[in-house]
Amino acid sequence: MTDSTFNAGAYYRLALAPEDRERLPRYAALVDALSTSSVACALLGEARAEQRNPMLVLAALHYNALVGDRVLAPLYAHVNEIDPGDFARGVVAALEERPELVRAQLHRATQTNEPGRSAVLAAILRELHSRGVEDVHLIDVGTSMGLNLYPDFYNINSPSDEGVNLDIEDLGGNVTRVGLPRIHERIGIDLHPLDPSNAEDVLWLKACLWPEQPERTTRFEHTLKAMKDWPSALRLTGSALDVIDDALSFCTPDAMPVVFHSWVAAYFSPEEQVRWREIIMRHVQSRATWIYLEHPWGVKGLAPPATTSDPPRSGATQIVVCELGGEPAHWGWAHPHGRWVALAAPS
């Protein structure tokens, strides 16, 4: 049974930020076409409430293309060569003819695990380092495959033939050039953590990427290869609200725990958001720093701080940092996938 107040069509139409609509004309056409399909809207309504996100349907369609569906595979393989309208009509026709393609994947979760967010995290950690934070334990909530536990191992705005390169535009001009703090323990929390050595898990993460951006798939593959030589990380299975205390118990007192999440709390219920804030603030008062990248309207239960500036581009996520012993503060804005960052001037 679905919520009668749920407006699936609106969710589809708003799935992409204006900036992404311009860069992804085929996915823009697809979400618009899905918004007017009664079958697509019904399928979205069938997803469990915390995963009632158009990205789940988009990933399910892409997954079927990757496993060789007779109709979807050629459409996605040549996506950047096809007229946007033709692409959208072809995909929706396949969906409406065989809705089981998507229905069979609705048990999954969107777990993009975009490594570009590490560039934003690195900018924040650099600023903390400039304020005297030299040693940290990094806890990544909603870690998926753990790609964002290694902000110190990516080549950020310094292209190299070795390692994984990330490019991020500094719109505010306030990203400090100091190095990152030393990262000791790396701990990921997820309801369903994914294993980089499991072929099915890797395939699902590829499906969560947008097919019009093949460079993201290439970077993902390079990251998986590089991770084999990176430090090991601890992955905890369960709800963040239930296991955050366990995660912090692994953090020795010689470094400060930094709890980070991006587009995770938006999937919590309002009551869970309030509880999460209470739990984290208790730890902030004693030993931890809290960083999150979320859209303010989706995390009202976290009581995000008032913004001191408008986002430079639409569809941005707010950067909120709660330093040890302090209160949550607005630190600027970032693209949801880390394409750009606009840090507020240091206070």
Distance, in Å, from the CA atom of 247 to the CA atom of 251, rounded to the nearest integer, reads 7
pLDDT at position 315: 84
Per-residue model confidence (pLDDT) at position 159:
87
pLDDT digit string (tens) for the chain, length 347 residues: 445 558 999 999 999 988 899 999 999 999 999 999 999 999 999 998 888 999 999 999 999 999 999 999 999 999 999 999 999 999 999 999 999 999 999 999 887 778 999 999 999 999 999 999 999 999 999 999 999 999 999 999 998 888 899 999 999 899 999 999 999 999 999 998 999 999 999 999 999 999 999 999 999 999 999 999 999 999 999 999 999 999 999 999 999 999 999 999 998 999 999 999 999 999 999 999 999 999 999 999 999 999 978 899 988 999 999 999 999 999 999 999 999 999 998 77
Distance CA 51, CA 192 (A): 13
Q: How many residues does the chain have?
A: 347
Identify whether the C-beta of residue 137 lies closer than 8 Å to the C-beta of residue 189: no
Report the pLDDT value the prediction gives residue 3, as an integer from 0 to 100.
55
In whole angstroms, give the CA distance from residue 227 to residue 12: 34
Q: Which helix H or strand E contains 5, and what residues bound it?
A: none
Asked whether 281 and 213 are in contact (CB, 8 A), the reply is no
Rounded to two decimals, what is the model's pTM?
0.89
DSSP letter at 322? E
- What the chain holds in terms of domains, given with CATH numbers, is 8-103 (no CATH), 117-195+205-343 (3.40.50)
**For position 1, what pLDDT does the model report?**
41
Phi, psi of 75, rounded to the nearest 5 degrees: -65, -45
